[in-house]
Amino acid sequence: MFSSPRFRRPPFSSSTRLGLAGIGLSLLLGGCAQQPAPDPGPPPVSAEAFETRIASLESRLVERCETRLDWQDRQARLGRYLLADIRVLGDRLHEMQDALDRREAPPRPITQCEGVDSSQLDGMQVLGRAEWVGLPEVGTYLKARVDSGANTSSLSAREITPFERDGQDWVRFKLGLNEDDVVVDGVRDAWIEAPVERRVRILQAVGSNSRPVVSLLMTLGPIRQPVEFTLNDRSHLNYPVLLGRRFMMDIAVIDVAESYLHPRPEYAGGRPADEAAADEALDQDDSEL
C-alpha cells in the first residue's frame, strides 16, 4: 500500500511576515480610533466663582424668608382684627337681646336738674360712678371707676416691655390685677401688644416718671370707641380701669349717686351678664387716689 505524503506548511518568507504584521497593526490602530474619546466633564470652578454663587443663594434664601415672615405678620394682624370684629358682633348681639328683654319694662324716670338745659344733654349717656367696660381686642370685661377729676384714662398693667415693630414703638404687657379683680380667666396672664401712641410724664411727690399711652377699643353700654389709656400698675387700687374726662367729653355725664347703670358685656370664657350683680356687691369703698 502506498502511504500519502505528510502535508507540510510552506515556510513564510520575511516579506510575507512583514506584510502580515502591518495588516495586524492597521487593524489594531483602526479599532482604537473607532472608540469615543472620554468626557472631560465640566471645567473646574474657581474659588471666586464658588463664593459668588453661594452668596447669591444666601441672598435669595434670606429674601424668601423675609417675604414669608412679612406674610405671616400680615396674616396675624388680620386674624387679630377679625377676632376683634367677632367679639364686637357678639357684644352687639347681647345688647340686642338685652334690648328685647327690656322692651316691656317700664321706662326709668328722669329727673330734671335745676339750672340745667336738657337740650345740652341730648344724645349723652348717663354713667354711674362705677361701670363695667369691655375690651374686645383683649377679650375681657373689667370694672372701671368713672372720675371726671382725672384727665386721661388709665389701665392697670404689669411687666410693661417696650419693643419696636416696623419702625414704630410698641409695648407688650399683661393686665395688672389682684385676686379680687373680676376678669375673664383666660386673659388674666395673657400678653397684650399695642402700638405706643405717645408718652406722658406723671409728676408725683417722690419724683416723676414717663408712662406709655396705648389706644384700645372699649365698650361701655352703647358706647363703643377707641380710648387712650396710660399703662401703670393699679393692682393696689380697687378698680383696674380709670375713665377720665377726655373719654367722657361730649358723650357722657356722671350720676355719682348711681353705679353700674349699663350691663356687663359677655365674652367667651367669662361669666354671664346676669351674674354681674354678685360681683358688683364686692365693691369696696370708692375712695382711692
> Per the domain annotation, does 31 fall within a domain?
no
Higher pLDDT, 154 or 288: 154
- Which residue's C-alpha cell is 367667651? 268
CB neighbour class for 232 (10 Å; exposed up to 12, middle 13-18, buried from 19): middle
Average pLDDT estimate for 152-169: 95
CA separation for the pair 213, 217 (Å, rounded): 13
Given pLDDT bands bounded at 50, 70 and 90, which one contains residue 289? very low
Average pLDDT estimate for 144-162: 94
User: Residue 119: pLDDT above 60?
Assistant: no
**3-state class of 288 per DSSP?**
coil
> Per the domain annotation, does 178 fall within a domain?
yes
**3-state class of 54 per DSSP?**
helix
> Per the domain annotation, does 26 fall within a domain?
no
| Domain containing residue 270: CATH number | 2.40.70.10
> Per the domain annotation, does 104 fall within a domain?
no
User: Residue 230: pLDDT above 80?
Assistant: yes
- How do beta strands 153-165 and 192-204 pair? unpaired
**Residue 288, number of CB atoms within 10 A of its CB:** 13
In this structure, of 53-57, 133-137, 276-280, the range with the lowest mean pLDDT score is 53-57
| pLDDT averaged over every residue in the chain | 80
Average pLDDT estimate for 254-277: 94
C-alpha dist (Å) from residue 39 to 30, 33, 42, 43, 141: 21, 16, 9, 11, 78
User: Residue 13: pLDDT above 80?
Assistant: no
In sign, the C-alpha dihedral spanning 88, 227, 129, 175 is: positive
> Which H or E element spans position 43?
none
pTM of the model: 0.59
| Total domain count, the chain | 1
Given pLDDT bands bounded at 50, 70 and 90, which one contains residue 18? low
The string of pLDDT tens digits covering residues 79-116 is 776 777 776 676 667 667 666 655 655 555 555 555 54
Predicted local confidence at residue 177, as pLDDT: 96
C-alpha dist (Å) from residue 203 to 61, 206, 226: 51, 8, 26
The angle formed by the CA atoms of residues 143, 118 and 112, to the nearest 5 degrees, is: 75
Given pLDDT bands bounded at 50, 70 and 90, which one contains residue 47? confident
Predicted local confidence at residue 118, as pLDDT: 45
Higher pLDDT, 111 or 161: 161
The torsion defined by the Cα of 228, 231, 237 and 243, in degrees rounded to 10, comes to 0
User: Residue 134: pLDDT above 90?
Assistant: yes
Predicted local confidence at residue 201, as pLDDT: 83
> Per the domain annotation, does 75 fall within a domain?
no
Residue partners of 283: CB distance under 8 A and separation at least 6: 130, 143, 238, 259
Average pLDDT estimate for 176-199: 95
Average pLDDT estimate for 256-263: 94
User: Residue 267: pLDDT above 60?
Assistant: yes
Predicted local confidence at residue 14, as pLDDT: 60
CA separation for the pair 210, 144 (Å, rounded): 23
Q: Which domain holds residue 255?
A: 125-280
C-alpha dist (Å) from residue 140 to 26, 97, 199: 99, 19, 25
